[in-house]
Amino acid sequence: MDCYRLVGEDKLARTLAEEVLRAGTDFDGTERSPMRNAEARVTLGVTAAREGDLEQALIMGERALEGDRQSVPSLIMTSRELAAEMKRRYAAEPGARDYLARLQALGQEKPGFLPL
């Protein structure tokens, strides 16, 4: 999923991200793999942003940031990528600016999380 996203193979990245979410969520909605699911949501956000779907990109980006994280290195990488897509494609959009501001606030709250 991550490799495909990084090289721009968005269809494959999206398919694998959806599978990660399916496999990482119990039948009752409980997440078995919250960090991996967060990464999958960022991947879905990145692919949505690249396809021109800002609303879906924001939804996935926000959902990825929800909840407590005990380990953040891979989420840092994927969040940076979504932030870059937001800046590149939607810098003038209020929703994108709000999302980037939230990432920046999170970076100040958790030093080293996301240098923007």
- What local confidence, expressed as pLDDT, does residue 102 receive? 84
At 59 the pLDDT is 96
> Measured between alpha carbons, how far is 52 from 74 in angstroms, rounded to an integer?
24
Whether the model pTM is above 0.85: yes
Instruction: Give CA–CA dist 49/99, Å, rounded.
Output: 13
pLDDT of 111 above 70:
no
Instruction: Give the pLDDT confidence of 48-103 residue by residue, as tens digits.
Output: 999 999 999 999 999 998 866 656 666 776 788 899 999 999 999 999 999 998 88
Q: What is the mean pLDDT of the chain?
A: 87
Confidence of residue 112 (pLDDT cuts 50, 70, 90): low
Longest pairwise C-alpha distance within the chain: 40
Structure tokens at 90: 């939607």
